[in-house]
Chains A and B, each alone.
Chain A
Amino acid sequence: MNEDLKRELIIENYNNPVNKGLTNDKDYISIEKSNPSCIDHFKIEIKLKDNIVEDIRFDGEACAISTSALSISISKLIGKTKEEALNIIDNYNKMILNEEYDSKVLEELEIYKDISKQPARAKCATIGINGIKDLLEKN
């Protein structure tokens, strides 16, 4: 994917993120995540049914990278089993840390690969998805 398309996808997911707005439904589990070194703040809700990630929603205020990365992660993870979702998140974190990872499972999440080279942005790219990870691991 060329740089312009990557940028377009990020801006589109920042301006119109998927599943923004919480349900506050008791069938959802939720978590709050903040980035201590900046101002990003999310609340994330997940509905797990029969080991399948049935829905993920979020609310909060954050930068373009944080918001778009969470939006794309949500699109990517809904419908996956808990194990599949955790595997995608694991590979995503490896990519951000510049370690070996399985590119096949990440698809469009790979647009954040170069982000890790910007020190100010690496945490932005992971705050949302690691909130999802924390929720899945605890439930």
Chain B
Amino acid sequence: MDYRNDFKFLKQGIIYFDNAATTLKPDKVIEKMDDYYYNYPSNAHRGDYNISIKASTEFENTRSLVKKFINAKKTEEIIFTSGATDSINMAIYGYFLNNLKKDDEVLITKSEHASIVIPWFDLENKLGIKVRYIDLNDDYTFNIENFKTMINPNTKVISIAEITNVIGDKRDIKEITKIAHENNIKVLVDASQSIGHVKIDVTDTDVDFLAFSAHKMLGPTGVGVLYGKEELLNEISYRKGGGTSISFENPSEIIYKDLPYKLEAGTQNIAGVIGLSEAIKFLNEVGLDYIEDYTNNLKEYLVSKLENNKNITMYNPDVEGSILIFNVKNVFAQDTAIYLNNHNICVRAGDHCDKKLHDETNMKNTVRISLYFYNTKEEIDKLVDALNNDNILEESIL
């Protein structure tokens, strides 16, 4: 299926291979937000007039769509945030800060994003918990046996991505959660890279918390979701106080509203949330199975083409998924990215917010290609042609 006509941006001729950073937005998502701003630009959950009721209805309609999209049991378990980082912070500072104590252990890996690592380091400083790393396989993928051997009576949380943003390996969240729960370990999943790429079913996997951003699933920036089991979300201590979240302002008897509103203080990103509804409808139409198959095949094609280039070192060619990281011999990753930019090809260079992984391996800074269902073999051919050049460093300059 060709969905390229649904993205006005693609008519510019720019080849966009930085989908792990953010995806493109279909015209329908942009039009949905325009429609809000043009035709019912009012606050939600506030007014007694038609356009406000329309805004509230559309806002809550998105919540229902998110619930179905990740198969949550209740809409109360879907909290809108400003993005995955905000969601993860809400879970860690709102729940775990109050439920962990000195010497409790949190398991992560060295391929987690900074948004996971940093809040846990902060809790290590604040509470004296221990952040421990589950050893990765030689190809930097997750090893479930290593996870099992790390578990001891102090282990209280495992906090990992479902798909990592550098290596791109998909972890078996259902199995990991099963093992975790058998040992009274809570599971916080960063679904930033898996949302919109693979099917997510929080009821089936039984995860405790799951975080993602709208902008990595065709939606707008500035919107994210924290899924949490209702009983856990109810334990989150008040994080931001303000309109919507409380019923009284008398300091001695603040009464919090019920979920989800008690965790959504202040006016939300209404246009963004409403825009997300179209993104979900679009993804449902394309189909997640199709997206997963298509991007896996596209990566295989990319790897098969780059294998013929003697100057290229690929670091994760055999990992199934939509992400490939590589370097060009004797060219700094950023110079490669700037060279490709001169060819209208957008790629990411750097440590991809994962300093730990790069400290541990010889990869350091790399170039990352991250694919999505609107990318094509023709685009990959153009990339492969551009990289088939012995003068990349020279041509990146001036």
Chain A contact residues, CB within 8 Å of chain B = 3, 6-7, 10-11, 14, 38-40, 61-65, 114-115, 118, 120-121, 124
Contact = CB atoms under 8 A, between A and B. Distances in A.
B144 to A, nearest CB: 32
Contacts of B397: 7, 10-11, 64-65
B393 A120 contact: no
- Residue among A114, A115, A118 with the highest chain B CB neighbour number at 10 A: A118
Contacts of A124: 334
B48 to A, nearest CB: 46
Nearest to A35: B334
A63 B338 CA distance: 10
B396 A64 contact: yes
A115 B398 contact: yes
Contacts of B333: 39
A95 B394 CA distance: 23
- Residue among A14, A39, A118, A120 with the highest chain B CB neighbour number at 10 A: A39
A61 B333 CA distance: 11
Contact of B351 (A14, A39, A118, A120): A39
A7 B396 CA distance: 10
Given A39-B333, A120-B338, A120-B341, A61 B364 contact: yes
A10 B394 CA distance: 9
B398 A64 contact: no
A63 B364 CA distance: 13
Contact of B334 (A10, A38, A114): A38
Contacts, number: 43
Given A38-B349, A39-B351, A120-B341, A62 B394 contact: no
B282 to A, nearest CB: 31
A121 B332 contact: no
B392 to A, nearest CB: 10
Contacts of B320: none
Ranked nearest first, the 5 interchain pairs of A and B with the lowest CB-CB distance are A63-B334, A39-B350, A63-B332, A63-B335, A39-B365
A124 B333 CA distance: 14
Interface in B362-398: 364-365, 393-394, 396-398
Contacts of B393: 11, 14, 64
Nearest to A38: B334
Contact of B398 (A38, A114, A120): A114
19 contacts: A6-B398, A7-B397, A10-B397, A11-B394, A11-B397, A14-B393, A38-B334, A38-B349, A39-B333, A39-B350, A61-B332, A61-B364, A62-B332, A62-B334, A63-B332, A64-B396, A65-B397, A115-B398, A118-B338
